[in-house]
Structure 1
Amino acid sequence: MNIQNSIEQKLLAHFDPAHLEVVNESFMHNVPAGSETHFKVVLVTPRFSGERLINRHRAVNAVLKDELADQIHALALHTYTDDEWQSLYGGSPNSPKCLGGGLRKSVS
């Protein structure tokens, strides 16, 4: 299993998030192609309600302690409650309405 999948599975299991993004940003750094060393995590969960930012980050770091010990070089954390996420970003964007783009019949 790759590191990104491991991060996703652990955070999903532990936090039961309303929203989770795990982005491998290693390509933006001076590392070999295909590296998994630099990540950004956006985590939205009601479990963060009433928790200070430092405690949210400590909770994520505790879940990912094995990966942080010897695999991850940098981890950017963006942690929100459902209400914070909703007020800042309005939740997930809606998909655009369908404009009737059904399959077209070819004319022979």
Structure 2
Amino acid sequence: MHGRIEARLRDALRPSALAVINESHLHAGHQPHYDGTGETHMRVRIEAEAFSGMSRIARHRAVNDLLEAEFDAGLHALAVEPVAPGEPRRW
């Protein structure tokens, strides 16, 4: 899943910075049957020129739309931290 997410975002958005972080282990016990293994909770930190002029919501939608197949394949939660070049980052 991690590799597919990274490849899909690189191909579509050509980011200048990209980090895909598996945070599934942080959610162990979230539901009775979930032990935190696997790749169900991911964080994406991405800087791309494609985000210039887009609202924050539009950026999130663009990433979510690109990763629709991953949600269908078991991705449960996605935290997105998108920025355009030159914008301040929190990461």
TM-score in same-fold range (> 0.5): yes
Give me the TM-score of the superposition, normalised by structure 1: 0.73
In the alignment, is residue 57 of structure 1 matched against residue 55 of structure 2?
Answer: no
Q: Distance in 1 between matches of 2:18 and 2:45?
A: 6
Which 4+ runs in 1 deviate beyond 2 A? 31-34
Partner of 1:83: 86
Partner of 1:74: 77
Q: CA deviation at 1:71?
A: 1.1
Partner of 2:23: 25
Give me the TM-score of the superposition, normalised by structure 2: 0.86
Across the two proteins, how many residue pairs are aligned to each other? Answer: 86
Q: CA deviation at 1:10?
A: 0.3
- Cα 1:55–1:37 change in 2 (3 A) is same
Letter in 2 for 1:73: H
Gaps of 5+ in 2: 29-33
SS at match of 1:82: coil
Provide the identity percentage.
36
Partner of 1:4: 2
Compute the RMSD of aligned alpha carbons: 1.7
Q: CA deviation at 1:35?
A: 1.0
- Relative contact order, CA 8 A, sep 6+: which one is greater? 2
Gaps of 5+ in 1: 90-108
